[in-house]
Each structure stands twice: as structure tokens, then as C-alpha cells.
Chain A
Amino acid sequence: MEPPLLEFRGITKRFPGVVALQNVSFSVQKGEVIALIGENGAGKSTLMKTLGGVHQADEGAIFVDGQEASIRSVKDSIGLGIGFIHQELNVVDNIDVAGNIFLGREPLKGGPLKLVDHARMVRESEPFLKKLGLNISPNTPLRELSIAQQQMVEIAKTLSLNARVIIMDEPTSSLTLSETERLLQTVKDLSKHGVSVIYISHRMGEIIECADRVVALRDGKNAGELAKEEITHDRMVALMVGRELKNLRIEGKGVQEANYFAVEGLRTGFKPKQTVSFSVGRGEILGFAGLVGAGRSEMAQAIFGVEPPLEGTIRIGGERVHIHNARTAISHGIYLVPEDRRLTGLITSVCIRENISLPALTRYSTALLVNRQAEKRIAQEQVEALRVKTPSIETIAANLSGGNQQKVVLGKWLSLKPKVMIFDEPTRGIDVGAKAEIYKLMRALADEGVAVIMISSDMEEVIGVSDRIAVMHEGRISGILSHPEFSEKSIMQLAVGGSVAAASN
């Protein structure tokens, strides 16, 4: 029997503090279309990057045509016939199609002059474009093409490099329905011509249509496979989730005023055709779950005014508020602990005291001169209340650990009596101990009567900490779960676009 075209055997990859992949194995036959599924952080990208030569595995090996392959660089990977279409397209948009296809290996002419033989590039590009049914001239400047066409050019490029396996990472996230149809047809054609495709996607419908086999990863490990006849929505969801949940539950005092913070018909530039409506009560923690790209951060930034929404009504305590920018949001008591604390949450080169006092500096000043005493007092209070581990409030924020930095970001807002507190991935990159402290702080905030919104991609966190969970999918809320309905399965079902009814199965 012929050896598989590609085989992963026992791949393990570690990064400082985390094991991204553990003993992952599976094989890909010639001409097979494999769908690689798993939730955020399951290890799909890391695995593909080891195949693509970006990372090297710490243990295990990759076999191509039955021979162990040494992939130490992207060049090695390309040499073995592995093509990678990244989610962010790697095209150069100020040259033409032929130039992109032959980027880095342009045919030359003129002997020592080494001029680019453009005519030859155009000639040699044509067969690949034709094979993909792309009806454009190789002379077309790339920036005149749509994203879908640019993607096709990238595929043509991999074919011109004699790719035998093409990895496609979330290829349809920027495509229209008809463009998606065309891509799926291309995948099927490639497969018919003996080119294997590893298709990474969250879109169950597409997988059902074109995959020969589904390989699932969970927490960096193999989580099972499905043969073509077995591929269904439910089975895929079941493979992606289903592990023991640690109990993170901290009981709160309960909802004090339901629908205190109400959002209706919020439309953002992210997915202008979708609207979001929900409400959070005082004393409640509303979790926002969903896959990367579902639009949660965009919603948070719209509410906080950083990227003002296209339309929508926001009410606090029944009264309508208008939010044009971060300042107005803050003046209404809406605060955001942003996703990237080092970029937008803190000024890392400045000390803790100055970070904490920044949003309300005018309060700690007399006649527009900063009152150092008042400022020190409030900073000291926050540092103590939040138990920030630091020798002093004069320590530069960059020298704090992630968890402590996050507490400083929180400290900025707590002194200002928040009404609505939005946390975007509050414990990303934070160790377990600090995580627990932050959960306690969130619950304490809610108990004090704040309406808390928590965006999180961590299943355990979202299930453990939230009172209710809103799941977003492609820019809209696909469902809101209350306590008895909480389960990884139901969240995942909604996150991939299923329905609440299906979720309660």
C-alpha cells in the first residue's frame, strides 16, 4: 500500500509556560481533503506552522511520502510541496498577478544584467490560472482584484511551486457566498487532481460539503476523527468540546435591577448587516462567548465609543445615552478593560500611580495643577484593594506581571464608580492564581451593583464566571444561555451558527 502523502507522528510543541501540542498524530492521503477543527487555542495553527516551517516541533516527526522530512524553514516546507494560504493573504498588491506568482524566483534574462523576464512570467503563469478557472490576465495589478481573486492567485502560486498539500487557514472568512461556492469547487477540483487540502475552518456547512475526513484537536491533543459518512454538525461539535470543567463558580448576590444596561439594534462597521441587542442587569455578569472573529471586541469598542456604532440605542437605567467617543462613554460610567492591555490598557513606560490616576486626573488636581498627595492616596488605595504585587506605586507598569498589570488597568476605573464594566479577555496571558483573583474582583464588582460584561474565549472561564452567556456568531448574537443551559456543547453549537433549540439537545 502506498504510504500516505503526509503523516504527523507524535508532534509535541512547547512554548514558555504552555504545551501547545501534545503527541498529535494523523495522516493525509494523496488527494484527500481534511478538515482540521478545534476551538480557539486547540493547536490547529501551531500544528500547521510546524508543517509550514515556521516552528519546529520539540518531539515527533513529519513524514512526507513515507520519508521523515526535515522542515527547518519555510523554504524547506515549500520544497517538499507544502503550500500555505494564510488567513491574512501574503500578496504584494503593487505588482501584478504574474509577479506575485513568481515572487522571489522571478525568471531572469539579459545575462549579467539580471533583468526580470516579465514576458516569461506571464506565459508561465497562464496554465495555473487556467487550471483554477481564473479568467484574468496575468498582467492584472493585484490591487484591482477582489479578495477572493487574490486568494486564487495565492493558490495558483502554490500550484506553480508544485504543491501537493495546500493548507488553507479560514479561507472563506472574507468571501461572499458565491465566492465561497467557487472556492469549495476549487478545493474539490484540486482533490480530483491529486492535490491534498488541509482545510482549517469553523464553518461546519463548508466542511460537510467538501471534506473527506475531519480531524479534531482539543487542548493540543488529538480529539478524534470522522470519516466522510460520519460528518455531521453535532458530531463535530462533540469532538471539539467535552472535557472536565473546573469549578470556577463564585456565588453572587444576584441580579439587583434587571435590564439596567440595555443595547438595542447596535450596528457596527464590522458586519454592517447584523445588529446586536441585549441587556445586562445590575449585579449580573453577562459573558460573551464566540469564536475569534465573531465580532465581540468590535461590539465592546462600539459601546465604549472608541469605534462609534453606525446605529443603535443604548440605555442606562432606562435613560438613553449617546456615545460618540471614549470620553462620553466614561462620563456615563461605562468603562472598558481592553483586550490588549499593553497597547491600549496601560501606558507601560509610566508608573502605576500615573496609570491609575490618568482617566480622572482632573479630580486629583487643584486649579489644574496635579495634587500629588491626592493622586498618591488614590493609587495606594487601589493597589491595596486589588492586591497588586508591587514594591511601590512608583514602579513602572512594564515591570509588573501580566496579572498585576491587569489589576492596574482595573484600578484605573474602580475609583470612578463604574456603572457598566466591560472586560475583553480579562485573563489572557495571566497565571492561574491571578485569574482566580480577577474572578473574585469581577464578582465583587457585580455585587456592588455594577453591570458586568465579560468577553472571553476561554470556555471554562465563560461557563464558570458568567450568570448568563450571550454567544456571538458572525456579528450577531446567535443565542443567550441561562444557567441551566450552560454547557460547552451548547456554547459551541451557537458559536458555529447553530440554534438554541439544537443547543439544548
Chain B
Amino acid sequence: MKKELGIFILLIVLCVTVAIINPRFLSSANLTNMSTLIGMYGIFSIGLGLIIITGGIDLSVGSVFALQGVLLAMMLRDWSWPWVLAVFASILGVTALGAFHGYLVAKVKMQPFIVTLCGFLFYRGLARFIASDETKGFGSSGFTVLRDLATGSVGPVPMPFVLFIVIAAISYVLLHKSVYGRYLIAVGRNEDATRYSGINTRLVIGSAYAVSMLFAGVAGVLIAFYTNSISPANHGMSYELYGIAAAVLGGCSLRGGEGSIIGIAIGTALIQVLQNLVNLLGIPSSLNFSVLGAVIFFGVLVDQLISQRKRAKIRS
């Protein structure tokens, strides 16, 4: 709880500071845009968090978005598939990729870093090849139901944010209340001891990758429609870093065995507010990444110092 409270306070402080300096922060246009972004990024960040809790990592998410985006555009516009089928197929395809990663990590025992690094490279290249390096789009008309679902709102709240809340709630129950969540955390803490207790650790680890990609698949559809134009060379570039950063800020240790859904959610929000801050405060956008890097660095450093002090206090 303490960790989450810490970043939550940081989030509030940041919001208040920006709002004071540039009241445009609180304009409905800005808030709507920010919550859309938080929604989209949050969905796949939660998935990444699950993988990180098992002690793994996923570097391929961004490239998967490019591949999914390109295929979705082609399915809808070039091949005229009904939108339900296209969306379903794209999410299923992405989930299958995740399951494949999970198989390589859990059964073939390859390192997650390597598997997903190769994915990062391979899927991007594949996306570019399939699209012949052309920017794909959804056009300005058609698929109104899908568009409304992806980019519309429920009242004042953008759809991506609503979906994010729903997925976050399901994930919270999954991670903190269910048997599967217990197994995930146990496997991340000590895989051997968990195996010696009779749990099928291979299935637990492998499935985390599949579930994560399921979430990414949902986010991918939203992201595709948000940008509305998918340039296969750039679409989704570096998104995985945002996800990992959100998870780490939210309390997931890269060593595994630790994490909270609420933390990841707040972490995502924090990162998006920071990006917004850079814009609204007139900080040159070239420093965008630097600001992000600095905040994550200090966030983790402060957390480490606090937990070291706590451990020293327990020992004395």
C-alpha cells in the first residue's frame, strides 16, 4: 500500500503543479486526450506487469502493435472483412504470438529477453514487408460501430479509459484474489520451491505471456484507431518501454514476484501526465524522453533507499 500511496501522491502533486502553471491542463479537451492515452497505455502495461511478475520481460509489444495495426487496416479496408471478424482475428492472432513466446520461455527454456528481442525485430520487419512499407489507414468513413467503440466515449469518459478500468478491475481480482495470481507471484518469487509444491510452473509462466498479449491485442485495436494511420516503420515504436516503465514505477520488481495492478495504473497515469507536462510547460519536446527517464530513475532510487532503510530498521 505504501508504495502505491507514494506514487499516487506524486501524481496528485504533479497534476496540481501543472494545473497551476498552465490551467489548460484541466481543459476538457486535454483531460479527454490524457485519459484516452492512459486507457490505451494502461491496458498493455498491466499485461506487461504480469509478465514482469513472473520474472520475465517483453520487448516485442511495440512491434506487435505495428503488425497488428497493419493487418487490421488491411483486413478492414483491403479485404473488406466484417469488423467483428477482423477485430477478433487480430486479437486472437496477437494472443497466439504471446502463447508462442510463453512456450519458448517456459518449455524450451529460452530467456524472455532474447525471445522478445527477436520478436521486437522480426514483427516490425514483417509488418513493413506485409504493408510494403506503405502507411496504412482506416480512411475517413466506414466501420462506424467499431470506430465509436474504439474512439467514442461513455458519457464524458473516453472508451479506452472505460475499457482500461474494466481490465484493471479484472486483473486486480486475477492477481490479488485468485489462485492463478497466487501462482504467478509464487513462481516469480521462487520457481523451484513452487514446482516442488506441485504447481505446473511451466503452464503458469507460459500463460502469463498469452494473457499479456491478449491485453495488448485489445490495446492494439484502440491504438490503431487512435492514430488512425499506421506507418509500419514507426507505429508503436518504443511502447514496450512505456509499459515496462509504468510497471516498474508501479512497484513491479524486474526480479519478479512483486507487483500491484493499482501501482501499474498509477504508474501509467504518472507517465502520461509527465508527457503532458512537457507539452504544457513549454519544455522542449526533445526533452520528452529525458524527463521520463529522470522521473523513473528517481522514483526507483527513492523506493530502493526507503526499503533499504526499512530493512536496516528491522535488523536493529
Interface residues of A (CB under 8 A from B): 304, 306, 326-327, 329-331, 336, 338, 343-350, 354, 358-359, 361-362, 365, 368-370, 412
Output the least CB separation between B1 and chain A (Å): 15
A-B contacts counted at CB < 8 A amount to: 66
Check B198–A327 contact: CB distance below 8 A: yes
The interface bits of chain B over 169-197 (1 if a CB of A lies within 8 angstroms of the residue's CB, else 0) are 00001000111101101100110111111
Please pick, from A348, A362, A369, the residue contacting B177 in the complex, using a CB distance under 8 A: A369
Output the least CB separation between A393 and chain B (Å): 15
Q: How far is the CA of A304 from the CA of B179 in the complex (A)?
A: 24
Check B182–A370 contact: CB distance below 8 A: yes
Output the least CB separation between A114 and chain B (Å): 36
Check A306–B182 contact: CB distance below 8 A: no
* B257 interface contact, C-beta 8 A: yes
Check B179–A326 contact: CB distance below 8 A: no
Q: Chain B: which residue is nearest A363 at the CB level?
A: B179
Please pick, from B189, B194, B198, B257, the residue contacting A330 in the complex, using a CB distance under 8 A: B198
Output the least CB separation between A136 and chain B (Å): 35
Check A306–B196 contact: CB distance below 8 A: yes
Q: How far is the CA of A350 from the CA of B188 in the complex (A)?
A: 11
What are 12 of the A-B contact pairs (CB < 8 Å)? A306-B195, A326-B197, A331-B198, A343-B192, A345-B196, A346-B190, A347-B186, A347-B193, A358-B186, A358-B199, A361-B179, A365-B178
Main secondary structure of the interface of A (DSSP, over half): helix
Please pick, from B182, B200, B257, the residue contacting A349 in the complex, using a CB distance under 8 A: B257
Output the least CB separation between B231 and chain A (Å): 42
Q: Chain A: which residue is nearest B187 at the CB level?
A: A347
Please pick, from A344, A362, A365, the residue contacting B193 in the complex, using a CB distance under 8 A: A344
Q: How far is the CA of A293 from the CA of B198 in the complex (A)?
A: 26
Output the least CB separation between A29 and chain B (Å): 48
**Residues A326 and B189 in contact in the complex (CB < 8 Å), given A362-B179, A365-B179, A369-B173:** no
A326 / chain B contacts, CB cutoff of 8 Å: 195-198
A343 / chain B contacts, CB cutoff of 8 Å: 190, 192-193
B193 / chain A contacts, CB cutoff of 8 Å: 343-347
Q: How far is the CA of A338 from the CA of B194 in the complex (A)?
A: 12
Q: How far is the CA of A363 from the CA of B179 in the complex (A)?
A: 10
Check B198–A344 contact: CB distance below 8 A: no
Output the least CB separation between B76 and chain A (Å): 36
Output the least CB separation between A489 and chain B (Å): 36
A362 / chain B contacts, CB cutoff of 8 Å: 179
The interface bits of chain B over 59-88 (1 if a CB of A lies within 8 angstroms of the residue's CB, else 0) are 000000000000000000000000000000
Please pick, from A338, A361, A369, A370, the residue contacting B196 in the complex, using a CB distance under 8 A: A338
Check B182–A348 contact: CB distance below 8 A: no
**Residues A344 and B192 in contact in the complex (CB < 8 Å), given A369-B173, A369-B177:** yes
Check B179–A327 contact: CB distance below 8 A: no
Q: Chain A: which residue is nearest B198 at the CB level?
A: A330
Q: How far is the CA of A308 from the CA of B257 in the complex (A)?
A: 28
A368 / chain B contacts, CB cutoff of 8 Å: 178-180
Which residues 191-222 of B sit at the A interface, judged by CB distance below 8 A? 192-200
B199 / chain A contacts, CB cutoff of 8 Å: 327, 358-359
Check B197–A369 contact: CB distance below 8 A: no
Check B189–A350 contact: CB distance below 8 A: yes
Q: How far is the CA of A120 from the CA of B182 in the complex (A)?
A: 60
Output the least CB separation between B211 and chain A (Å): 14
B194 / chain A contacts, CB cutoff of 8 Å: 347, 358
Check A370–B197 contact: CB distance below 8 A: no
A330 / chain B contacts, CB cutoff of 8 Å: 197-198
Q: How far is the CA of A391 from the CA of B155 in the complex (A)?
A: 51
Check B178–A369 contact: CB distance below 8 A: yes
Q: How far is the CA of A347 from the CA of B198 in the complex (A)?
A: 13
B178 / chain A contacts, CB cutoff of 8 Å: 365, 368-370
A370 / chain B contacts, CB cutoff of 8 Å: 177-179, 182
A348 / chain B contacts, CB cutoff of 8 Å: 190
Q: How far is the CA of A343 from the CA of B194 in the complex (A)?
A: 10
Please pick, from A346, A349, A359, the residue contacting B198 in the complex, using a CB distance under 8 A: A359
Check B179–A358 contact: CB distance below 8 A: no
Q: How far is the CA of A361 from the CA of B192 in the complex (A)?
A: 17
Q: How far is the CA of A344 from the CA of B180 in the complex (A)?
A: 20
Q: How far is the CA of A358 from the CA of B187 in the complex (A)?
A: 11
